[in-house]
Amino acid sequence: MPNQTKRSHTLTAHLLLIAVTLVWGATFPLVKSALLDVSPLLFNLLRMTLAFLILAALNGRSLRGLSRKDLRFGAVAGLFLGLGYQFQTAGLARTSASKSAFITGLVVVFVPLLGMIPRVRAAGAVKPGLYTFIGAFAAFAGLVLLTTPPGSGAALLVGLGLGEWLTLACAVAFAAHLLTLAHAATNVSARRLGTLQIGFAAFVLLITLPLGGHPAFHLTSRAVLALAVTAILATAAAFTIQSWAQQHLPASHTALIFTLEPVFAWLTSLIFLHEHLGARALCGAALILAGILAAEFGPTLRQSRVS
């Protein structure tokens, strides 16, 4: 019976994370449109504050008697989450939704690369090997094709615009956030962790708000819709679900599911924003996905061959 319950929780965790990834992918074009009415960093602050108020109201009882460990994990997770969203949204205002999504997808490559550091690697995770570096190289090549015009390949990262650089920094921050959750999920309840990390993230967004210049907000239906969807579904619900799911899944499985996010984002951007990727950009996107899959499946294949 315990094994059956474990399998049931594992299946539920996979399905819920796929649903979360679908929501996150769909928010790229939604947020891109809202940024015409709201400055990027102010949008993040409003989104995260609203999500925290919702979670605090729902999970008030579970926040009683917080320990120092709870606060420490919540603060670290919130720091990386807040930085990730600041970089991502600021970058999204300066690049296309589909490019932003594929670059954000590099989080799956950065997870095993950061895992090279023993103290960072989650318990039970496979030490990065050859497949990880092959995947990282393929993803890097794809990034150059996706974000630079023809003839600029020799310039490599010099050809990246500010939007792409900011989004790349977001991928690193989100990778650190995912690894933090991998360590915290077995030590802090999902309700506490989900609420605390959103609260601390809102604080990070508040103190970094001046970095985005003078905040602007125009009350429009698309801005309100974007705030409601991102705060309730893509933040409050999504990160509570992720905090629970990572109690039943290793970080590598979670990261692999997240490879679907740029695909969902590209499809919704194509449908709603009519963003088309050229042949060069499509090849770059395909290389990024191939690199992501190599970085994730490679260590698993290597471990199975050894055993």
Extents of the domains making up the chain: 2-306
Q: 248-297, pLDDT tens digit by residue?
A: 877 666 776 777 777 788 788 888 878 777 788 788 778 877 877 776 66
Q: 217-235, pLDDT tens digit by residue?
A: 999 999 999 999 999 999 9
Span 72-96, average pLDDT: 93
Residue 299 near residue 262, CB atoms below 8 Å: no
Higher-pLDDT residue of 199 and 147 is: 199
Residues near 101 by Cβ (< 8 Å), separated by ≥ 6?
25, 28, 261, 262, 264, 265, 266, 269
Alpha carbon distance 33, 218 (integer Å): 13
- Pair of tokens at residue 280: 């060069």
Q: Is the pLDDT of residue 300 over 80?
A: no
pLDDT number for residue 206 = 96
pTM attached to this predicted model: 0.77
Most confident of 17-21, 59-63, 95-99, 119-123: 17-21
